[in-house]
């Protein structure tokens, strides 16, 4: 709509702006043609092709008036060119062609405001320029094509660039991200419906309405722009519940032109099969709730975050191969409602022993799993080391029913492939809630693995949602304007106000409408600490209680070291109450690192033979290596606390922040609640599989089970949050697969009955494993590695005992760093220690929930019995923990522990974790 030029003030000729404002909008044609766009096979139609295809964006629009061009020379004239039809051509040595209007920019020597300086500290030096226009003029500019040029005195182009505009959008439309901003997405009231979508750079936005989920469009309605927020809205005096819709967004896409994108709602709460259309739903509607959903009993809030004992599980893995689940429910949300299935009985046993949270791998809408028809591979019966199984699986991987789910499509709607009927958008909502309700009924809290750090696609890809609504805003860009992909995929930019809002709004939705109790954040270190703290406040408010947040705090990529913002990473979350996974004890216990291949796969760790039971693979481990690994294990047992002090292998009294972990401080946390301890999760080889590589040849299946229990025990005894991967207690194998994210059901199976662990069921998929196949073949052929049902039952029952021991006393869940420092003491340390035995004593006197005057754990990882003499423990009445003494205790070796009260000598059986107490 043309605006009055008198509203604007600027430093150049008024006729240029008038020409811009008078430029006619691009239309697709008559109403019939516009409605046809709703049903076209094309999801993006070019209305006016771009005259130039160069999309490099080296300039930064810092706020509404400030522009920076890092790396450009300081001399020359700088001009901003605009085109309503994407017709700008900026050829070096020639004047600009196709520009509707041009604005000479003035140099800006004024200091940047501190917040702006911090936000753009990473961009480097270069000319800083100022655009003197009123807000409405800038809003108009942002809806067209913009090219910044450096020109000589004759107006010829020296160089040119496009602009990265998130800074300008965040400044100009700050009201859209404010706490009081109206909600986005579909809203339903009594006999009324409305939509709200943030699209500040769009020229026009309309909504296509469909009477059925897969029928043709029946209406196309224009939305109205809100000048202050950049949002577009539409109100209808009708109840549109259950009706499908999509948006048509007319927007300039750099290098493509003016495009009409048909796109789903970024705030979709429901979707048709395969995410083709969004659906109007009021999530508070009764027909979207299973019986008894409102007010259903939920587990009581935890007294402390360290009380969390988490079990990580994939929805499809849970029941896909469980014959006790009716076929129509296998692999679905509803499998969790089958009270007598093998899987549900197993979960109940875990809860009774001490597991508090089931953390589900991603269950929001995924991009790569067909929801309506997926292909089941025909896996042949073949040799243990055959390539045939993986070939069959990978031949259909793009169309099969499995993926971990780290490929987000829509953040606010449940995934349809886990529903019994993906064609009815209401079913997945009801069934998701029924799953949560069932887990709550068993006393299990429900955690959700969320992936806000990247999307599956960006740009004009059909699977791109955010970037086709607001091109260039939602993703983090490099110095040339290309999307960063350090996470694996197309990185989102949660440092931008509206991407942060989307993340925070989404988490709040899952808590309020689906009863989610806790979250695990994928690659959380790629997000700002400040945004995560705001998210914490939102979800707590939505729940009316604390919602625990944990995440991967790895520090890498374009944001590493706080380059762009203070990250939600291991080194930056101290005092936040948000927890990160610790790799310190994980790597020390397992050996090597998570991405090893080749000979590095055989590097041993503390639990599987480092130096003391060499596997003969030539890794050359020394006693010094073993001593350092033991110190790192103790660091994990002490909650990875930066300030905790102990006697290290060199004999010095040192804080854990002074202990080296691959060039980093071993201790980094301020409180035990900020650390997640684990030895296995969905990533990388399972614990059993990594031990296939690392344990000495000839290690029996029964001894492999004992090594598994030792690693689980060190995890269970560690201060902080305990995290376990589904099936670790069943010796779960993925047939040595190092990355089973798309390896199909075959390589991700769990047998809850404990008859098999699926090791030796074919070489793992070639895409991430082929380079190591020759190392794997002899291991796969070794039938002695395969556990018997008795080995699996022992591991399971021993794990349940470990959970019971952890749950029995707050001494294994100390509340704060001061408690850990005051009450936890390690014995058998320093250069003269017996390094294969860890001894930790915890003082329980006067501690709430301790239940014992003292607790002592001894973990002997050696294949031989060991003796340690600790005079400080002499003269005290130590006895086996009650769980060890129970008639049904899984492990009889703790009974072989001998303690001499006079000398403080302990004789500990081979490969045994034992807990002693003083009542």
* C-beta separation of 161 from 147 below 8 A: yes
Indicate left, alpha or beta for 257 from its phi (over 0: left) and psi (-120 to 50: alpha).
left
**pLDDT > 90 in the chain, percent:** 95
What pLDDT, on the 0 to 100 scale, is given for residue 619? Answer: 85
Distance CA 582, CA 676 (A): 6
Question: Other CB atoms closer than 10 Å to residue 324's CB: what's the count?
Answer: 16
- CA-nearest of 781, 813, 795 to 891 is 795
- Answer whether residue 858 shows pLDDT above 50: yes
Main-chain dihedrals φ then ψ at residue 256, nearest 5 degrees: -110, -45
Average pLDDT over residues 831-852: 98
Distance CA 66, CA 80 (A): 12
Least confident stretch, 15-19, 63-67, 708-712, 767-771 = 15-19
Distance CA 504, CA 698 (A): 52
What pLDDT, on the 0 to 100 scale, is given for residue 32? Answer: 59
Q: What is the pLDDT of residues 492-510, one digit of tens each?
A: 999 999 999 999 999 999 9
- CA-nearest of 676, 673, 670, 674 to 643 is 670
Q: What is the pLDDT of residues 448-494, one digit of tens each?
A: 999 999 999 999 999 999 999 999 999 999 999 999 999 999 999 99
- Answer whether residue 12 shows pLDDT above 50: no
Q: What is the mean pLDDT of the chain?
A: 95
- Helix, strand, coil distribution of the chain in percent, nearest 5: 30, 20, 45
- Cβ burial of 5 (10 Å; 0-12, 13-18, 19+) is middle
- Answer whether residue 880 shows pLDDT above 60: yes
- Answer whether residue 851 shows pLDDT above 60: yes
Contacts of 374 (CB under 8 A, 6+ apart): 399, 400, 401, 417
What pLDDT, on the 0 to 100 scale, is given for residue 13? Answer: 31
- CA-nearest of 702, 640, 707 to 913 is 707
What pLDDT, on the 0 to 100 scale, is given for residue 75? Answer: 87
Please, what is the angle between helix 623-637 and helix 701-716, to 10°? 50
- Answer whether residue 760 shows pLDDT above 90: yes
Distance CA 368, CA 409 (A): 9
| Catalytic residue, candidates 307, 467, 517, 552 | 552
Distance CA 742, CA 745 (A): 9
Main-chain dihedrals φ then ψ at residue 289, nearest 5 degrees: -115, 135
Please give the DSSP secondary-structure letter assigned to residue 228: T
- Answer whether residue 6 shows pLDDT above 70: no
What pLDDT, on the 0 to 100 scale, is given for residue 33? Answer: 62
Distance CA 730, CA 821 (A): 35
- Answer whether residue 777 shows pLDDT above 90: yes
The band of 618, judged by pLDDT with boundaries at 50, 70 and 90, is: confident
Average pLDDT over residues 8-37: 43
- Answer whether residue 18 shows pLDDT above 50: no
* C-beta separation of 167 from 62 below 8 A: yes
Asked if 522 is an active-site residue, the reply is yes
Q: What ranges in 283-424 are assigned the alpha helix state H?
A: 315-319, 342-353, 388-395
What pLDDT, on the 0 to 100 scale, is given for residue 27? Answer: 41
What pLDDT, on the 0 to 100 scale, is given for residue 567? Answer: 98
What pLDDT, on the 0 to 100 scale, is given for residue 29? Answer: 42
Place of tokens 């991987």: 397
- Answer whether residue 263 shows pLDDT above 50: yes
Q: What is the pLDDT of residues 66-116, one digit of tens each?
A: 999 999 998 889 999 999 999 999 999 999 999 999 999 999 999 999 999
**Global pTM?**
0.95
**pLDDT > 70 in the chain, percent:** 96
What pLDDT, on the 0 to 100 scale, is given for residue 8? Answer: 25
What pLDDT, on the 0 to 100 scale, is given for residue 190? Answer: 87
| Catalytic residue, candidates 522, 631, 751, 772 | 522
What pLDDT, on the 0 to 100 scale, is given for residue 34? Answer: 66
- Answer whether residue 11 shows pLDDT above 60: no
| 902: its two tokens | 């006079």
């Amino acid at each position: 709509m043309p605006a009055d030029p008198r509203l604007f003030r600027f430093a150049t000729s008024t006729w240029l702006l008038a020409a811009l404002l008078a430029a006619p909008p691009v239309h697709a044609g008559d109403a019939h043609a516009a409605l046809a766009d709703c049903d076209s096979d094309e999801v993006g139609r070019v209305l006016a092709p771009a005259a130039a295809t160069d999309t490099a964006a080296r300039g930064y629009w810092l706020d509404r008036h400030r522009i920076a061009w890092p790396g450009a020379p300081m001399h020359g004239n700088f001009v901003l060119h605009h085109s309503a039809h994407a017709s700008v051509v900026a050829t070096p040595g020639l004047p600009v062609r196709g520009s509707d209007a041009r604005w000479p920019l003035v140099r800006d020597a004024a200091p940047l405001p501190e917040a702006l300086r911090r936000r753009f500290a990473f961009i480097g030096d270069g000319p800083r320029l100022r655009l003197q226009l009123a807000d409405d003029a800038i809003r108009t500019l942002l809806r067209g094509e913009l090219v910044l040029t450096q020109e000589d005195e004759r107006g010829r182009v020296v160089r040119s660039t496009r602009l990265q505009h998130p800074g300008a959008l965040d400044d100009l439309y700050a009201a859209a991200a404010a706490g009081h901003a109206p909600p986005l997405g579909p809203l339903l009231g009594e006999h009324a419906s409305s939509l709200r979508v943030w699209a500040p750079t769009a020229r026009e936005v309309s909504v296509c309405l469909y009477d059925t989920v897969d029928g043709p469009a029946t209406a196309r309605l224009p939305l109205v722009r809100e000048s202050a927020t950049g949002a577009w809205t539409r109100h209808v005096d009708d109840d549109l519940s259950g009706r499908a819709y999509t948006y048509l967004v007319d927007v300039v896409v750099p290098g493509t032109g003016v495009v009409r994108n048909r796109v789903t709602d970024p705030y979709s709460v429901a979707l048709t099969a395969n995410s083709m259309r969004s659906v109007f739903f009021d999530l508070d509607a009764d027909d979207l709730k299973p019986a008894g959903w409102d007010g259903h009993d939920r587990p009581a809030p935890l007294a402390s975050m360290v009380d969390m004992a988490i079990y990580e599980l994939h929805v499809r893995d849970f029941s896909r191969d469980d014959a006790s689940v009716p076929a129509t429910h296998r692999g679905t949300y509803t499998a969790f409602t089958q009270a007598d299935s093998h899987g549900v009985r197993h979960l109940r046993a875990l809860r009774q022993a001490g597991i508090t949270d089931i953390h589900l791998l991603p269950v929001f809408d995924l991009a790569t799993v067909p929801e309506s028809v997926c292909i089941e591979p025909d896996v042949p019966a073949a040799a243990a080391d055959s390539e045939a199984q993986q070939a069959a699986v990978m031949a259909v991987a793009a169309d099969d029913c499995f993926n971990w789910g780290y490929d987000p499509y829509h953040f606010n709607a449940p995934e349809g492939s886990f529903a019994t009927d993906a064609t009815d958008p209401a079913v997945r909502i009801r069934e998701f809630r029924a799953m949560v309700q069932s887990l709550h009924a068993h006393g299990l809290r429900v955690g959700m693995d969320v992936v806000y750090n990247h999307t599956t696609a960006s740009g004009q890809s059909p699977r791109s949602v955010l970037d086709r609504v607001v091109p260039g805003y939602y993703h983090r860009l490099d110095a040339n304007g290309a999307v960063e992909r350090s996470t694996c995929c197309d990185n989102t930019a949660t440092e931008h106000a509206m991407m942060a809002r989307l993340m925070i709004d989404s988490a709040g939705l899952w808590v309020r409408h689906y009863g989610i109790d806790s979250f695990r954040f994928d690659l959380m270190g790629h997000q700002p600490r400040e945004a995560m703290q705001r998210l914490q406040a939102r979800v707590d408010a939505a729940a009316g209680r604390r919602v625990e947040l944990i995440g991967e705090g790895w520090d890498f990529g374009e944001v590493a070291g706080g380059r762009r913002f203070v990250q939600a990473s291991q080194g930056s979350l101290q005092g936040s109450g948000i927890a990160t996974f610790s790799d310190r004890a994980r790597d020390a216990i397992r050996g090597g690192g998570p991405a090893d291949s080749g000979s590095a796969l055989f590097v041993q760790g503390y639990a599987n033979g480092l130096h003391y039971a060499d596997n003969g693979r030539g890794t050359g481990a020394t006693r010094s290596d073993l001593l350092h690994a033991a110190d790192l294990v103790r660091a994990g047992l002490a909650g990875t606390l930066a300030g905790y002090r102990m006697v290290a292998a060199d004999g010095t009294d040192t804080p854990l922040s002074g202990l080296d972990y691959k060039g980093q401080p071993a201790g980094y946390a301020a409180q035990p609640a900020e650390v997640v301890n684990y030895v296995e999760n969905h990533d990388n080889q399972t614990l059993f599989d990594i031990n296939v590589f690392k344990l000495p040849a000839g290690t029996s299946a029964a001894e492999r089970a004992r090594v598994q229990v030792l690693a689980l025990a060190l995890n269970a005894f560690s201060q902080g949050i305990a995290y376990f991967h589904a099936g670790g207690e069943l010796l779960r194998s993925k047939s040595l697969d190092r990355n089973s994210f798309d390896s199909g059901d075959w390589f991700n199976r769990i047998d809850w009955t404990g008859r098999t662990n699926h090791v030796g069921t074919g070489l793992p998929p070639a895409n991430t494993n082929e380079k190591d196949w020759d190392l794997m073949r002899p291991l796969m052929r070794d039938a002695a590695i395969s556990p018997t049902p008795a080995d699996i039952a022992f591991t399971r029952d021993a794990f349940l005992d470990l959970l019971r021991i952890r749950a029995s006393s707050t001494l294994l869940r100390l509340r704060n760093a001061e408690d850990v420092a005051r009450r936890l003491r390690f014995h058998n340390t320093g250069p003269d220690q017996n390094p294969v035995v860890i001894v930790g004593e915890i003082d329980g006197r006067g501690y709430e929930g301790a239940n014992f005057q003292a607790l002592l754990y001894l973990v002997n990882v050696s294949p031989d019995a060991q003796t340690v003499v600790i005079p400080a423990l002499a003269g005290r009445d130590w006895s086996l923990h009650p769980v060890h003494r129970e008639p049904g205790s899984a492990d009889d070796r703790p009974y072989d522990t001998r303690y001499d009260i006079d000398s403080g000598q302990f004789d500990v059986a081979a490969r045994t974790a034992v807990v002693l107490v003083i009542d």
